[in-house]
Structure 1
Amino acid sequence: MNEQTRVFPKKKWKVRYSVLLVLWLCWLFSFLDRMVITIALPFIGEDLNLNATAQGLLLSIFFAGYALFQIPGGMLSDKFGFRRVVSVAIVWWSIFTSLTGFIFSYPLLLVLRFVFGLGEACLPGGSYKAIATYFPSKQRGTATGIQSTVNTLGPAIAAIAAAAIIGLYGWRVVFIVMGIPGVIIGVYIWFKFKDNPKDHPKITTAELAELEDDVEEQSGGQKNAGVSFKELLKKPILWQMALIWFFFDITFWGFTSWLPSYLIKEKGLSLMSTGIFSALPYLVGTVAIVLGGYLADKIKGNRKWVFIPGALAGGIALYFMFQSASITMVIVFQCLAAFCMFLAQGAFWGLVMGSLPAKIMASGSATVNCFGSIAGFVSPFLMGYMIQTSGSFDTSFIMMILALVVAAVIALTINEKPKDNQVEMKVEKRERKVAVQ
C-alpha cells in the first residue's frame, strides 16, 4: 500500500471522556456552590452584623460536615457504586445551596452550611472511583488533573459570577441561582451513568479490552491490587498522603477563603475588581494542575519531586505577596503562588491515584481528602481569629507558608517504590522473559 492510499484510523470519542466531562461539571458546581460565599462574605457579615471570627466560622462549618462524611461517602461508593451516590449527593447539596438565599438567622445559616457539606462530602470518593473504573492506570493522573481544574476554575468563575450577581441583585440571589444546575446534572447521572463499564450501551469492545488488559496488568504487577480497605489503613503511605494533604489544604483553603476579603479590606479594591483579581490566580492554576497530573503519569515513582518544589515555591511566592506594597506585585505573586501550588496539587493526586487499588479507590481517596476537609474547617476559622486579634493578615500568611513547608517535608518521607516491590517486579519480568523464550 502506497502513501496516497494508506488509511489512518480515526480517533473515536471514548465513553470515559464523557464520564470525565460530567464529573468535571459535578466538581465545577460543587466549587461554585461552596465558593460563592467567599465573595458574599463581607455582605453577609454586614447584613447579619458578624465579626471576623463569626465569618470565619461560617466558612469553616461547611468543612465540618464535609470532613465528617468523607470516609462514609467513599465507602458507600465502593459498596453501592458511584452512580447512585454521586447523583443523590449533587441533588442534595444543590437544594441546600438554593435554600441559603432564604436564611436570615446566623445559627440557622451555620446549620444549613453544615448539612450542605454532608452532601458534597460524597463527591470526591465517588468521582475518583469513577475515574479508576473507566480509565486505565496510565491515564488516571492526567484524568484526575483535568478533573481537578475545577479547583482553579471553580473559584475563578465563582468570583466573577458572584461579584456580578451580588452587585446587581444582592448576595441572596446568587445562592438561589447557583443551586439549579446541580439538580439537572444529578438527574442526568442517575439515568445515564453505569457503575460497570460493561453495562454502558455506548462503550466499544476496544475500550473494554483496554480496561480488561489494564486490570490484568495491575493485578499481576501491583502488590496492593487485592488489598482491602481495612488492610490499607495499616499502610504508612496512606497516612503520609493524608498528612501531606492536611497541611497543603491549610494553605489552599486559607488562601481561597480569605483572598477576596484580603483584596477588599487590606488593598482597598472594589467589589468588581476583587472578583476579577481573585479569579486570575485560579485561571493560571488551571494550566498548572493539568501539567502536574500529566507529569505524574510520565514520571511514575518520582511524583513527589514535582510536588515538593511546587509546594516550596508556592510558599516563597506567598511570602513576597504579603510583603508587597504595590497592588500590581500582589497580583503577580498571587498568580505565581497559585501556579506552583496547583502544579503540586496535580502531581499529588496523581500519586494518590497511582498508589491506591481501584477496588477501594473511593474509600482510600476519601480518607486522604477527609484530612484536607479537616484542614478546610480549621484554616478559615483560625485565619479569621488571627485577623481579628492581630488586626492584619500577616500572621495568617506566615501560617500558610509554614504549612506548605511541613507538607513538603512529609513528602520527602514517601517511598513510591518499596524495595520488596522492586525485587518482586524484577523477578516477575525475568520469569516472563524465560517463559516467552
Structure 2
Amino acid sequence: MSAQSQAVPKQSWKVRYSVLLVLWLCWLFSFLDRMVITIALPFIGDDLSLNATAQGLLLSIFFAGYALFQIPGGMLADKFGFRRVVSIAIVWWSIFTTLTGFIFSYPLLLIVRFVFGLGEACLPGGSFKAIATYFPKSQRGTATGIQSTVNTLGPAIAAIAAAAIIGLYGWRVVFIIMGVPGLLIGIYIWLKFKDNPKDHPKITKEELAELEEDLDETPAEKKKSGVSFKELLKKPILWQMAAIWFFFDITFWGFTSWLPSYLIKEKGLSLMSTGLYSALPYLVGTVAIVLGGYLSDKIKGNRKWIFVPSVLAGGVALYFMFQTSSLTMVIVCQCLAAFFMFLAQGAFWGLVLVSLPAKIMASGTATVNCFGSLAGFVSPFLMGYMIQTSGSFDTSFIMMIAALVVAAVIALTINEKPKEDEIEINLENPKKAVAL
C-alpha cells in the first residue's frame, strides 16, 4: 500500500485550487451583486427622484449592514466552520439582490440593501478562513491575491454587463438576473466543501502533509494557533491593520462607487462608453493585485515597502486625474491609480493572513475588513454630500488622496521583522508581552 502510494505521480491540480476557484466565484458574484448599483445609480436616481446625497446613502447603506455583521459573521465561521456560513451567506444575499429589482419605494430599497449587506458580511471572514485551512502559509499571500482579483474584475464585469442590460431592459432587470448564480454556488458549497481538509474525499496525502508540516514549523507556532480572539484584540498590530484598511477603503469605495457618475456627469460620456471606461482600471488592477500578493510571499518582513510607495503613487495618479481636462489623460490616470492601489491591496492582505492564527482567522480578518466596511459606508455618502454642496467632484478627490496618505503613514508604524518573534514570546508568556 505504501509502495503503491509512493508510485502515484504528484497531482498538478490540488484540492486547494478547487477551493480557491469556488471562493473566487463567491467573491466575483458578491462584487457583481453589490457593484451593479453604481452603474444603475443615475437611472435609479431619475426613476425615484433622488438627489446626490440620497443616492450616496443608497450606496452607503449596504456597508452599514456589511460592517455591522462582519465580526459576528467571522466568529460564526470560526465556531461552525466556513462551509455552512459561506453557503448560507451567498444564498441570503442572492435572494436580496433579486428583490432589489422589484422595489419601487426608496425607504424599502434602503432596507433591502441594508439586509443584503448583513448577508454578504459573512463572506470575508469565512473565505479567508478557508484559505488559511487549505493553503500552507507560504502560499497564502498569492492565494489571497488571486481571490482578490474579484475586487478588480467584479467592478469591471459589473460595469460592462450592467450597462448592456440596463441599456436593453432597464435597471431593474439587471438585479433580478444577478441574483440567480449565487443560489447555485451556495448549494454547491454546502454539498461539496469540507471544513476539515482530512474529510475531503479528493485530497491527497501529499497535500495533507504540506498542511501538517506548516502547522508543525515551530513549537511557538503551535502556541500561536491556540491564541483566542479576545487575546488577539489586545494586539496593536490588529488595530494598525484595521486603521490602514479603513483609510485605504475610504479611497477604494469612493473611487469605485462614484467613478461611473463622474464619467457620465463630468466628462459627458454615454452609458456604454462609461461601462467600458469604468472597466479599464479594474482590468489593469487584476494584474496588479496578483502581483502584490505574489510579492508579499516573496518579500517576507518587508510587505509595507510594497504597500507604502504604491498607495502614495495611487494618490498622485488620482490628483492628476481630476486636474486634467483631457479625457485620454483621465483614462490613463484612473488606470494608473487602480494599478498602484490594487498592488498595495494584494501586499496588504498577504500581511494580514500571515499575521493572524488560523484558528481565529475568520474573526481576525473580519475585524480588519469591518473597518473597510465602515469606510464603505462613510465614503460614498460623504462624497455624495460633497458633490452636491460643492457642485463638483474636486473636494471628494482631495479627500480620497488624503486618505491614502494617512494609510501610508500608519503602515510605516508596523514593525514586521521582529513581529513573529515577539508574538511567539507573547504567546509563550503573555505576562511578558511586548507591544507589537
* TM norm structure 1: 0.94
1:277 equivalent in alignment to 2:277: yes
Q: Runs of 4 or more off by more than 2 Å in structure 1?
A: 7-12, 218-226, 417-420, 422-425
Question: 1:434 — aligned with what?
Answer: none
Question: 1:314 — aligned with what?
Answer: 314
SS in 2 for 1:302: coil
Rounded to whole Å, the distance in 2 between the matches of 1:333 and 1:183 is: 38
Question: 1:107 — aligned with what?
Answer: 107
Output aligned runs, 1:178-327, within 5 Å.
178-217=178-217, 219-221=219-221, 224-327=224-327
The C-alpha deviation readout for 1:69-96, integer Å capped at 9, x for no partner, is: 0000000000000000000000000000
Output aligned runs, 1:309-388, within 5 Å.
309-388=309-388
Rounded to whole Å, the distance in 1 between the matches of 2:424 and 2:55 is: 54
Question: 1:15 — aligned with what?
Answer: 15
Tell whether the 8 Å contact from 2:96 to 2:112 is kept in structure 1 after alignment. yes
Rounded to whole Å, the distance in 2 between the matches of 1:406 and 1:31 is: 26
Pair 1:108–1:200, CA change in 2 (3 A)? same
Question: 1:37 — aligned with what?
Answer: 37
How far the C-alpha of 1:10 sits from its partner, in A, is 5.3
Tell whether the 8 Å contact from 2:303 to 2:348 is kept in structure 1 after alignment. yes
Tell whether the 8 Å contact from 1:165 to 1:174 is kept in structure 2 after alignment. yes
What is the root-mean-square deviation of aligned Cα atoms in Å? Answer: 1.7
SS in 2 for 1:114: helix
The C-alpha deviation readout for 1:371-418, integer Å capped at 9, x for no partner, is: 000000000000000000000000000000000000000000001133
Amino acid in the other structure paired with 2:228: S
Rounded to whole Å, the distance in 2 between the matches of 1:8 and 1:49 is: 66
Output aligned runs, 1:112-123, within 5 Å.
112-123=112-123
Rounded to whole Å, the distance in 2 between the matches of 1:53 and 1:69 is: 25
Amino acid in the other structure paired with 2:141: G
Pair 1:55–1:84, CA change in 2 (3 A)? same
Output aligned runs, 1:58-69, within 5 Å.
58-69=58-69
SS in 1 for 2:56: helix
Pair 1:218–1:355, CA change in 2 (3 A)? farther
The C-alpha deviation readout for 1:201-233, integer Å capped at 9, x for no partner, is: 000011111101111115544763321100000
Amino acid in the other structure paired with 1:193: F
The C-alpha deviation readout for 1:231-256, integer Å capped at 9, x for no partner, is: 00000000000000000000000000
Amino acid in the other structure paired with 2:337: A
SS in 2 for 1:224: helix
Amino acid in the other structure paired with 1:134: Y
Rounded to whole Å, the distance in 1 between the matches of 2:218 and 2:121 is: 29
SS in 1 for 2:376: helix
Question: 1:429 — aligned with what?
Answer: none
The C-alpha deviation readout for 1:88-115, integer Å capped at 9, x for no partner, is: 0000000000000000000000000000
Tell whether the 8 Å contact from 1:219 to 1:226 is kept in structure 2 after alignment. no
Rounded to whole Å, the distance in 1 between the matches of 2:321 and 2:188 is: 43
Rounded to whole Å, the distance in 1 between the matches of 2:146 and 2:223 is: 27
Rounded to whole Å, the distance in 2 between the matches of 1:238 and 1:274 is: 38
Amino acid in the other structure paired with 2:28: L
How far the C-alpha of 1:300 sits from its partner, in A, is 1.2
Percent sequence identity over matched residues? 87
Rounded to whole Å, the distance in 1 between the matches of 2:112 and 2:423 is: 53
Pair 1:116–1:181, CA change in 2 (3 A)? same
Pair 1:176–1:100, CA change in 2 (3 A)? same
* TM norm structure 2: 0.94
SS in 2 for 1:217: coil
Amino acid in the other structure paired with 1:160: I
Question: 1:415 — aligned with what?
Answer: 415
Output aligned runs, 1:45-124, within 5 Å.
45-124=45-124
Rounded to whole Å, the distance in 2 between the matches of 1:339 and 1:9 is: 39
SS in 2 for 1:307: helix
Tell whether the 8 Å contact from 2:215 to 2:221 is kept in structure 1 after alignment. no
Rounded to whole Å, the distance in 2 between the matches of 1:211 and 1:34 is: 34
Question: 1:431 — aligned with what?
Answer: none
Pair 1:219–1:182, CA change in 2 (3 A)? farther
Q: Which moved more, 1:203-212 or 1:31-40?
A: 203-212
Rounded to whole Å, the distance in 1 between the matches of 2:231 and 2:17 is: 32
Q: Which moved more, 1:22-31 or 1:224-233?
A: 224-233
Tell whether the 8 Å contact from 2:224 to 2:424 is kept in structure 1 after alignment. no
Rounded to whole Å, the distance in 1 between the matches of 2:187 and 2:423 is: 48
Rounded to whole Å, the distance in 1 between the matches of 2:349 and 2:202 is: 29
Pair 1:424–1:364, CA change in 2 (3 A)? closer
Amino acid in the other structure paired with 1:381: F
Amino acid in the other structure paired with 2:210: E
Tell whether the 8 Å contact from 1:83 to 1:195 is kept in structure 2 after alignment. yes
Amino acid in the other structure paired with 1:386: M
SS in 2 for 1:54: helix
Rounded to whole Å, the distance in 2 between the matches of 1:376 and 1:424 is: 34
Q: How many residues align structurally?
A: 420
